[in-house]
A = this chain, B = another copy of it.
Amino acid sequence: MNICFIGSSGHSYAVLESEKLADKSDKSNVVTGIAAGSDGENIENLYNALCRLNHSPKRYESYLKMMDDLKPDIVVIDNYFGEHAKVSVEALKRGCHVLSDKPLATTVDSLNELKKEQAKSGKKIAAMFTMRFDPEFTTAYEVVKSGEIGDIRLINAQKSYKLGTRPDFYKSRESFGGLIPWVGIHAIDLIYFISGKKFVYIDAVSSSAGNCGYGDLDITAAGSFISENNIISTMTIDYLRPSAALSHGDNKLRIVGSSGILEVMENKVKLINGNGEIEIALLDKADIFADFLEYIDGKENTSLNSDDAFYITETALEAQISADKKKLGKHS
């Protein structure tokens, strides 16, 4: 496969970790080009990382020219979050498969345009739901699927991160796209991924209060949801983890079933059911890019797929819109 990277502002590093791009691989996948996807984007680290993997991508000023010149099979899109959709549309128009960082789009209009373009193209698009590939969440998924907690009744998902120093594009909703579409989307995706049930009620709140001068960046958000089969869930999101905390992030997931509870905390998985409380050994980290390659190769039941990418993006946008309404005093 001929692969190009556009941008490196989010999770493209997750693709670089793939066996399929590793130096020791058979080089059937070659990164031929990289370009920024947004004005002012710095792709230096991405370039260096690719070189360390013995790829020799050509650097372009214009991602459009790059695609026209190199005609990649796959484009990995990771520019400013508010401009994912714009670049994805161009890639699909050129007949490329697209692996985009989440969210696929940050407005309903651009998401709908992207959907149309994808249908027209016959090419595949997926979003980097990176948490689906983390050992603790893969393990949680398998344990729940095996019936260890019975029917899912309640899910709580938490994402908490250090703010640290973020690029300037975080300061504007237009370029950043919103805390729920950027961070909350992982919580929403985990709830959907684990339960396999669609949302029938979505309510969210968010606030930029105390955001350390980061423009209109929301720094806290939360939501409560009902999914099919009367599954209840919550998410809680913040960028307020203290810099002195031992880890960068504090991701938690709690799945309450009819006959057991599974908790993911500090990268560990704890199962409580009729047999008492035990820690579950973690599965190996799954390979996100390998999964995407299988998806475009036509394999069924891959973790990534277009339907989920569109559905979870749409749900995250709906949640952010729900939160935004409350800021205007429109409390539903």
Contact = CB atoms under 8 A, between A and B. Distances in A.
A232 B226 contact: no
Interface stretch (A24-32, A93-101, A217-225): A217-225
Q: Please classify how large the interface on chain A is, using the bins under 10, 10 to 19, 20 to 34, 35 or more.
A: 35 or more
Contacts of A282: none
A144 to B, nearest CB: 14
A154 interface: yes
Interface in A297-328: 326
Contact of A224 (B205, B240, B254): B205
Nearest to A274: B244
Question: How many subunits of this chain does the assembly comprise?
Answer: 2
Contact of A332 (B153, B203, B231, B233): B203
Interface in A254-283: 254, 256-261, 272-277
A226 to B, nearest CB: 5
B258 A273 contact: no
A119 interface: no
Given A203-B203, A331-B201, A238 B256 contact: yes
Interface of A: 151, 153-154, 156, 158, 160, 200-201, 203-207, 209-210, 219-226, 229-236, 238, 240-246, 254, 256-261, 272-277, 326, 331-332
